[in-house]
Amino acid sequence: MKLQHGPAVQTPRAPQGPPASPAYPAHWWDAVFRRDTVFVALPFVAAALWTLGFRGADPRNMGALGLLDLFTPLTVLALILLLGGFLASLHLHKPEWLLATYLVVYIALIHGTPPVLYGTLRYSWAYKHVGIVDYIMRNGSVDPGIGVGQIYHNWLGFFAGGALLTELSGQPDALSIASWAPVAFNLLNLVALRFLFRGLTRNRTVVWMALMFFLVINWVGQDYYSPQAMAYLLYLGLIGLMLRRMKRRVMVVPFAVIVAAIAVSHQITPMMMLLAVIALVALRRTPGWYLPWLAAAIIVAWALTGALSYTFPNLMDLISQFGNVVGNADQTLAKSSGQTSVGDLQVIWGGRMTVFVSGVVALIGVWRQRRTGTLILTTSTLMVLPGVLVLTTGFGGEVLFRAFLFAAPFIAFLQAQACIPRNGRGFAVRSLVAAAIITAMVLPGFLLGYYGKERQNYFTPGEVAASRWAYTHAAPHSLLVEGSTNYPGRFIDYEKFTYVSLDLEPGDSTKVWLKDPAATLAGWFSDPKYAGGYVIITRGQKIAVESGEAMPPGFLDTIEEALRRSKSFTVAYQTRDATVFAPVQRAAGR
Amino acid sequence: MNERGILKTGAVVVAVALLLVLAAETDWVRPLCAAAFCLLVPGYGWARRMHLKDKGDTLALSAVFSICATVAVGTVMAVGRWWSPWTGFAALLLITLCGFIPLRRTEAGSNDSEKGFRWHLEFPAQAPEPNLRPGDETGEKR
C-alpha cells in the first residue's frame, strides 16, 4: 500500500503501449492523434519535406558553412518534425519499431543526402582508402614494405574485407560502395549501440533516448569508408558483448574473434579497446581476469607478425609521443588554429559547443543517477577512459576527435540519464521538455561540425573525371604533382606513381620557386627517374589551400596561370573544375 | 519438417532465387545483395547461438560476427597471396553453414518422444537477459 501511494515511486508503466483509449474519446482529435498512424506517417512526411527542401540545390553553391548553406526552412522543419516526433513517440510509449523508424529515417536523411546530392564520393581520404582496395583487387595481396600508404598494408583487415565485398558486388572499384558507407556504418552503429545500451540498462526510454543523443552529438565524421569506422562498430559490439552476463568459456571465442578483427584492421582502436576491457574486468562488470591478457596478446601478436614491417621502424615515433599529453592534444588544436574566417570559426566552435553541452549534461546525468551504483560507475568510466588516448598518441592531430568519438556513446547514455526521473520510471512531460531543450542545444553544433567542411569534402564529377584521366593515362613511375592532397586522388594504381603535394612544400623554398613556378616544375619533371607525369590542379585543392594559412592567397591560381602561359606545359585534360597539365618535353602517356 | 516449415523454407528459396536473378539482371541489386550478405549473413547462425532473445540484439551480433568473418577471410587470402573472390565467397558460405550446424550432441530429455541422441542445436550460453517482471522497464543492472 505504501508503495502504491508513496510520492516517489510510481506504478510501473506497461511497455506494450499507451493506456487503453476510452470507448468514446472526448474530442475527435483524441482518436486521431492516439493512433500510431500519425506517428508512422511523420518520419515520411519529414523525409518528403527534407527532399523538397533540397530540390534544385547545387552543391557548388556551398559556402563557408558547407551543406548548411543549402538548408532551407523546409529542411529545418523536417528535422524538427523528425526529432520532435521521435521524442513525442518516446513520451507516448510507442513501440520500438516506430522509434527505430524515426532514427533510421534520420540516418538516411543526414548521411544519405551527400551521396544523393553530390553524385560522387565525398572526402579525399575515402578515395585513398578506395585506392588500397584497388591495390588488393589487382594484386591479390598486400605489400607491407611499400613506400606509400604502408600503414594500410600492415593493418589490412578492412581493406581486404572491402576488396572481397567489392569483388562479390561485381563493381570495378569500391567508389559506389564507399559513397554509401556512412549510411551503412551509422545504421550498423545504431543496432550495435542498442545492443550495448541494453547491456547497461533495460530501461527502453534511456536506451532510445541515448541512441538519439548519440546521433545528434557525434559530429566527428569518422563514419566514412575507413578502417576506423569499421573498427569502431566492432568495438561497440565487443563492449556490448562484455556487458552481457554469460559463461566465461562462452564469451572467450567471440571475444577473441572480435579483438582479432579489430587488431588486424586499425591501430588506435585496439588501444582504446584494451583500456575498456581492462576497465570492465577491473570493475567486475565482466568476469575473466585473462581477457585483457588475451586481448593484449592478440594485438601484440599482429603488431609483431603481420605488421612487423611498420611496427619496428616506427616504434620510436610511438614511444616519443607516449606521455606527451600537451603535445598530443595540441596536434589536434593546431589543426584548427589556422582557421580565421567567420565561417570556419563557426564550424569549429559549433563542434566544440556540442562537446561542451553534452559533457555538462552527462555530468548532470552522473549526479542525478549517482545512486544507481555500478551502472553509473561503468558508464562514467567508459566515458572518461578515452581521455587516456591523449597520453599515448597524437594520431596525426586527430586524437581529441577520436577521444570524443569513443566517449560519445557513454556521454549520450548519461545525457539520457539526466533527462529521466531519478526513479528511472516513465518519461514525463518535464523529461520530454528537458530532452527537447538539450537536443535543440546540441543539434546546431552537430550540423556545423558534420556538414561545415562539406565545401572541401565535396568533389564535382569534373574533378573526379580529371583525376581518373590523369591516373589512367600516366605511365608507371610518373611524377604526379598535386596542388594539395584534397582532391579525389590515389584511387587507381596508386602505388605506381611518385607524389608531390605543392601545399606541403617548405614555406621558405615556396617563396623562391613561386616566382617562376613553371620553370621549377619543368625542372622536377626533367629528372630522368620519372617516366613522365602530370600536374593536377582542382577546385577542391584551391578551397583547401585557401582555408589554410600555410600558403599565400591565390597560391594555386598563380601556379595554374603560370602553367597556362608557359611553353613547357600543355593542358592535357580540362574540365570546368580541374586542369591536368603535362610537361611538353616528356611524353607521359601510357 | 511440418507444413509451416516447408512453406517458410520454400519462401526463402524463392526469395533467394529471385534475388539471384535480379542480381544478374540489374546493376544495383548485386552490390546490395553482396553488402547484405557480407555484413549480415555469415554471423547470423553464430549470433543465434547466443540466445539473446531480443531480435535487435541478435541482429547486432550478426553484423559484428559477419564483419569479422569477412575481414578474416579477406585478410587470410591477401596475406596468404591466394586471392580468389569465389573462394572467399565459398569460405563465407561455409562459415554461414557452420553457424547453423550443431556443435555437440546431448542426450534427448526424458520428455522427448524421440529415443537415443539428438543433435543439440543450442550453443550452451547462459541467457544474458535477466528475468524481469512484465512491465518493469527500469531493470537497472546493479
Flag whether residue A365 sits within 8 Å of chain B, measured between CB atoms. no
Arithmetic mean of pLDDT, A381-390: 88
Residue A327: pLDDT band (50, 70, 90) is low
* Domain final position from A153, A178, A203: A178
pLDDT at A336 over 80: no
Determine the distance in angstroms separating the CA of A568 from the nearest CA of chain B, rounded to an integer. 43
Task: Output A388 or A70, whichever has higher pLDDT.
Answer: A70
Is residue A427 domain-shared with residue A538, that is, in the same domain? no
Which residues of A are less than 8 Å from B137 in CB distance? Answer: 12-13, 15, 202-205, 425
Is residue A268 domain-shared with residue A331, that is, in the same domain? yes
Mean pLDDT of chain B: 77
Strand partners, A499: A480
Which residues of A are less than 8 Å from B70 in CB distance? Answer: 161, 164-165
pLDDT at A240 over 70: yes
> Which of A99, A142, A169, A226 is the best residue to mutate to test the B interface, defined by the most B CB atoms within 10 Å of its own CB?
A169
Task: Output A413 or B20, whichever has higher pLDDT.
Answer: A413
Task: Output A424 or A328, whichever has higher pLDDT.
Answer: A424
Determine the distance in angstroms separating the CA of B14 from the nearest CA of chain A, rounded to an integer. 21
Is residue A510 domain-shared with residue A537, that is, in the same domain? yes
Which residues of B are less than 8 Å from A246 in CB distance? Answer: 50, 125-126, 128
What's the number of domains chain A is made of?
3
Yes or no, beta carbons of B50 and A246 under 8 Å apart: yes
Yes or no, beta carbons of A246 and B126 under 8 Å apart: yes
Q: Which of B67, B72, B89 sits opposite A168 (nearest CB)?
A: B89
Give the range of the structural domain holding residue B46, as residue numbers without chain letter.
Answer: 28-120
**What burial class does residue A171 get, using C-beta atoms within 10 Å of its C-beta: 0-12 exposed, 13-18 middle, 19+ buried?**
middle
Task: Output A18 or B19, whichever has higher pLDDT.
Answer: B19
Q: Is residue A29 part of a domain?
A: no
Residue A268: pLDDT band (50, 70, 90) is confident
Name the residue of chain A whose CA is nearest to B30's CA. Answer: A169
**For residue range A14-51, what is the model confidence (pLDDT) as tens digits?**
444 444 444 455 565 565 555 678 889 999 999 999 99
Distance CA B84, CA A436 (A): 52
Q: Is residue A20 part of a domain?
A: no
Yes or no, beta carbons of A246 and B132 under 8 Å apart: no
pLDDT at A247 over 90: no
Determine the distance in angstroms separating the CA of B6 from the nearest CA of chain A, rounded to an integer. 28
Distance CA A198, CA A178 (A): 30
Query: What would the grid cell of residue A112 be?
Result: 544519405
SS3 readout for A9-75 = CCCCCCCCCCCCCCCCCCCHHHHHHCCHHHHHHHHHHHHHHHHHHCCCCCHHHCECCEHHHHCCHHH
pLDDT given for residue A553 in this prediction: 79
Which residues of B are less than 8 Å from A177 in CB distance? Answer: 31, 35
Is residue A499 domain-shared with residue A531, that is, in the same domain? yes
Is residue A149 domain-shared with residue A249, that is, in the same domain? no
- In this prediction, the answer to ipTM > 0.95 reads no
Q: Is residue A21 part of a domain?
A: no
pLDDT at A479 over 80: yes
* Domain final position from A178, A198, A220: A178
pLDDT given for residue B131 in this prediction: 43
Residue B87: pLDDT band (50, 70, 90) is very high
Of A68-72, A104-108, A248-252, A336-340, which range is least confident? Answer: A336-340
3-state secondary structure of A196: helix
pLDDT given for residue A128 in this prediction: 96
Yes or no, beta carbons of A165 and B38 under 8 Å apart: yes
Distance CA A332, CA B100 (A): 47
Flag whether residue A176 sits within 8 Å of chain B, measured between CB atoms. yes
**For residue range B97-120, what is the model confidence (pLDDT) as tens digits?**
999 887 655 544 444 444 444 444
pLDDT at B8 over 90: no
Q: Is residue B97 part of a domain?
A: yes
pLDDT given for residue B108 in this prediction: 47
State percent of chain A over pLDDT 70: 88
Q: Is residue B58 part of a domain?
A: yes
Q: Is residue B92 part of a domain?
A: yes
Distances (CA, A) of A116 to A55, A59, A122: 11, 11, 11
Arithmetic mean of pLDDT, B117-127: 43
SS3 readout for A87-103 = HHHHHCCCCHHHHHHHH
**For residue range A113-154, what is the model confidence (pLDDT) as tens digits?**
999 999 999 999 999 999 999 999 999 999 999 988 899 999
Yes or no, beta carbons of B135 and A14 under 8 Å apart: yes
Flag whether residue A116 sits within 8 Å of chain B, measured between CB atoms. no
Arithmetic mean of pLDDT, A475-479: 94
pLDDT given for residue B125 in this prediction: 42
pLDDT given for residue B123 in this prediction: 44
Residue A254: pLDDT band (50, 70, 90) is very high
Flag whether residue A265 sits within 8 Å of chain B, measured between CB atoms. yes
**For residue range A137-196, what is the model confidence (pLDDT) as tens digits?**
999 999 999 988 899 999 999 999 999 999 999 999 999 999 999 999 999 999 999 999
Q: Is residue A6 part of a domain?
A: no
Which residues of A are less than 8 Å from B79 in CB distance? Answer: 141-142, 156, 306
Q: Which of A96, A203, A264 sits opposite B139 (nearest CB)?
A: A203
Yes or no, beta carbons of B137 and A241 under 8 Å apart: no
Flag whether residue A95 sits within 8 Å of chain B, measured between CB atoms. no
Rounded to 10°, the helix A248-263/B55-79 angle is 50
The closest alpha carbon to A346, from A63, A64, A60, A59, belongs to A64
Is residue A81 domain-shared with residue A211, that is, in the same domain? yes
Arithmetic mean of pLDDT, A353-364: 94
Is residue A353 domain-shared with residue A334, that is, in the same domain? yes
Distance CA A214, CA A208 (A): 10
pLDDT given for residue B124 in this prediction: 42
Name the residue of chain B whose CA is nearest to A244's CA. Answer: B128
Sheet holding A533-538, edge to edge: A497-501, A478-482, A533-538, A578-583, A569-574
> Which of B40, B48, B58, B64 is the best residue to mutate to test the A interface, defined by the most A CB atoms within 10 Å of its own CB?
B64
pLDDT at A472 over 70: yes
pLDDT given for residue B113 in this prediction: 43
pLDDT at B142 over 80: no
Here the CATH number for the domain that contains residue A548 is: 3.40.50
Name the residue of chain B whose CA is nearest to A176's CA. Answer: B31
First to last CA, chain A: 88
* Domain final position from A396, A426, A455: A455
Yes or no, beta carbons of B88 and A164 under 8 Å apart: yes
User: Could you give the residue ranges of the DSSP H alpha helices within A119-180?
Assistant: 124-139, 150-154, 157-169, 175-179
Q: Is residue B74 part of a domain?
A: yes
Flag whether residue A98 sits within 8 Å of chain B, measured between CB atoms. no
Flag whether residue A142 sits within 8 Å of chain B, measured between CB atoms. yes
Arithmetic mean of pLDDT, A495-518: 85
Is residue A333 domain-shared with residue A440, that is, in the same domain? yes
Is residue A102 domain-shared with residue A191, that is, in the same domain? yes
Of A7-21, A391-405, A461-475, which range is least confident? Answer: A7-21
Arithmetic mean of pLDDT, A204-220: 95
Distance CA A4, CA B71 (A): 54
Q: Is residue A271 part of a domain?
A: yes
Name the residue of chain B whose CA is nearest to A246's CA. Answer: B126
The closest alpha carbon to B140, from A200, A380, A410, belongs to A200
What's the number of domains chain B is made of?
1
Name the residue of chain B whose CA is nearest to A190's CA. Answer: B60
Determine the distance in angstroms separating the CA of B2 from the nearest CA of chain A, rounded to an integer. 30
Is residue A80 domain-shared with residue A162, that is, in the same domain? no
**For residue range A2-16, what is the model confidence (pLDDT) as tens digits?**
333 333 333 344 444
Q: Which of B34, B75, B78 sits opposite A169 (nearest CB)?
A: B34
Determine the distance in angstroms separating the CA of B15 from the nearest CA of chain A, rounded to an integer. 18
Flag whether residue A375 sits within 8 Å of chain B, measured between CB atoms. yes
State percent of chain A over pLDDT 90: 65
> Which of A164, A248, A252 is the best residue to mutate to test the B interface, defined by the most B CB atoms within 10 Å of its own CB?
A164
State percent of chain B over pLDDT 90: 42
Instruction: Provide the sign of the torsion angle of the four alpha carbons B132, B136, B141, B142, taken in this order.
Output: negative
Task: Output A565 or A588, whichever has higher pLDDT.
Answer: A565
Give the range of the structural domain holding residue A405, as residue numbers without chain letter.
Answer: 36-119+180-455
Distance CA A13, CA B135 (A): 6
Which residues of A are less than 8 Å from B52 in CB distance? Answer: 244
Is residue A432 domain-shared with residue A511, that is, in the same domain? no
pLDDT at A302 over 70: yes
Flag whether residue A96 sits within 8 Å of chain B, measured between CB atoms. yes
Cβ-based neighbours of A453, under 8 Å, separated by 6 or more: A66, A221, A347
Query: What would the grid cell of residue A343 be?
Result: 565561417
pLDDT given for residue B110 in this prediction: 44
Mean pLDDT of chain A: 87
Is residue A198 domain-shared with residue A138, that is, in the same domain? no
Of A288-292, A389-393, A407-411, B137-141, which range is least confident? Answer: B137-141
User: Which residues 13-42 in chain A show a CB within 8 A of chain B?
Assistant: 13-15
> Which of A94, A137, A165, A226 is the best residue to mutate to test the B interface, defined by the most B CB atoms within 10 Å of its own CB?
A165
Q: Is residue B86 part of a domain?
A: yes
pLDDT given for residue A288 in this prediction: 85
pLDDT at A71 over 80: yes
Cβ-based neighbours of A562, under 8 Å, separated by 6 or more: A516, A517, A518
Instruction: Provide the sign of the torsion angle of the four alpha carbons A345, A346, A347, A352, taken in this order.
Output: positive
